Amino acid sequence: MGCFTFVKMMMVLFNLLIFLGGLTLLAMGIWVSVDGGSFLKLLGPFSSQGMQFVNVGFFCIAIGAALVLLGLLGCCGAQKESKCLLLTFFSIVLIIFIAEVAAGVVALAYSSFAEGILKAWATPALQKVWQGPVVTKIWNTAMSQLKCCGFTNYTDFEGSWFEKENGFLPPSCCWANISPCSLMEAKRSAVQGCFQDILDNLKEHANIVGGIASGIGGLELAAMAVSIYLYCHLDARVS
């Protein structure tokens, strides 16, 4: 088996995987969009927020359709040895790669402002969303597991729905989860806020996302190298 034939087979197999992945994502997106009601029933009290999940279905459809198209271009271009299809495939992957690099540069440039933006948004958001038993239960569970109180500290709950309704602060704002947790006891306990834990968690997940993005970028570079190799080799065969 010659080098050209091997590369051609690898190109076909690689794009077949892209095509099948796109079909899977497309089917999942259609399923979620058409039968979104079943997901909302499962979400129960979160059904109003669950509409966002249905929107994800349309996003999956768009990405899936793009992957199907990309896979078809790569497969057909390699199998039929079409210079036009190979060049189109190379161009699309190149555009995607440049867009990803640009997004990465922007993310790095603005990452230093992320902490300040999150701090400015955190307390008002917490006061606003802390408005009912469902959200209260979610936050109490999160704070209990992280052993923290609010975003900054106990002062985030001063004047909030929780304090006005119950007359005291969440148990996590006092050492040993003392209940009821009074404002004075929370002040003495000085439990740290959840902000740093949330920020560390975001950074950890950002590293994972960065690693995945790097892997995808490597695959894209390999796909472009293979497609341009086939394109140039076809030129050599013609001449």
What is the residue-level pLDDT of the chain in tens, covering all 239 positions? 577 788 888 888 888 888 888 888 788 778 767 765 554 454 444 444 444 445 666 777 888 888 888 888 888 888 888 888 888 989 988 988 898 788 777 767 666 666 666 666 666 666 665 555 666 676 777 787 888 888 778 887 777 666 666 677 878 888 877 778 888 888 888 888 887 777 777 677 667 767 777 877 888 888 888 888 888 887 655 55
User: Nearest-CA neighbor of 50 among 59, 34, 63, 37?
Assistant: 37
Question: What pLDDT does 51 receive?
Answer: 47
C-alpha Rg value of the chain to the nearest Å: 26
Residue 205 lies in a domain: no
User: Nearest-CA neighbor of 70 among 21, 29, 27?
Assistant: 21
Helix (H/G/I), strand (E/B), else coil: 182: coil
**Contact criterion met (CB below 8 Å) for 227 and 75:** no
CA separation for the pair 135, 139 (Å, rounded): 6
* Residue 2 token pair: 């010659």
Same domain, yes or no: 14 and 95: yes
Residue 22 lies in a domain: yes
**Contact criterion met (CB below 8 Å) for 140 and 168:** no
Q: Which domain holds residue 94?
A: 3-111+214-238
Report the domain count for the chain. Answer: 2
User: Nearest-CA neighbor of 229 among 2, 15, 1, 3?
Assistant: 3
Same domain, yes or no: 107 and 218: yes
Same domain, yes or no: 175 and 62: no
Taking each continuous run of H as one helix and of E as one strand, the counts in the chain are 8, 0
Question: What pLDDT does 77 receive?
Answer: 87
Same domain, yes or no: 75 and 138: no
Same domain, yes or no: 23 and 104: yes
Residue 208 lies in a domain: no
Residue 202 lies in a domain: no
Question: What pLDDT does 39 receive?
Answer: 47
pTM of the predicted structure, to 2 decimals: 0.59
Same domain, yes or no: 57 and 169: no
